[in-house]
Amino acid sequence: MSLLATSAVMAHEFKAGEVVVHHPVVRANPNGAKVGAGYLTIRNVGSTPDRLVSIESPAAASVQAHQNIREGGAIRMSEHKDGVLIPAGGEVSLMSGGDHMMFTDLKAPFKVGEPVTGTLIFERAGRVPVNFIVEPIGGSPAAEHAGHKVGS
């Protein structure tokens, strides 16, 4: 898993209450692209479940937590309508091959080296401001994300 090796080198974390957000990233996207994908890991170090209920970013009109659903031979994505449950003492990755964050109607394409900020809103931990690192195009998350359709 080269992604994990990369994460260790570029580790950055944000904490609020009993929630730790590890290594939030977005993928750089080609000029003109109106959507972008983001990835992160959320750890709940407490003894009570929490839930990621929404995501905000000034860089996009909306940000949703998505899951990939396999239907026959195709993969399509749908929103986590009830948020993302973070079990007590557990960890959830919105990452390649399945879950991800979808930024839609970007104000500007994501570029490596430029800051992207956002806020994760949890049921219990409340608002957690994060800085997303913009990672270059390439690697499996972007490749897998390119495979499914954006409903617009």
Q: Which of 28, 40, 77, 106 binds Cu ion (CB under 5 A)?
A: 77
Rounded to a whole number of angstroms, the minimum distance from the CB of residue 95 to Cu ion is 12
Site string for Cu ion, 99-138 (x = CB under 5 A): ---x------------------------------------
- Choose which of 42, 63, 66, 125 interacts with Cu ion (CB under 5 A): 66
Minimum distance from residue 34 beta carbon to Cu ion (Å): 13
Beta strands per DSSP E along the chain: 13-16, 19-27, 35-44, 50-56, 60-71, 74-79, 84-86, 91-94, 100-106, 116-122, 126-135
Please tell me whether residue 115 adopts helix, strand or coil conformation: coil
Contacts for 81 with CB less than 8 Å, ≥ 6 apart: none
Q: Quick check: helix, strand or coil at residue 59?
A: coil
Taking CB under 5 A as the rule, does residue 59 contact Cu ion?
no
Residues within the interface to Cu ion (CB under 5 A): 66, 77, 102
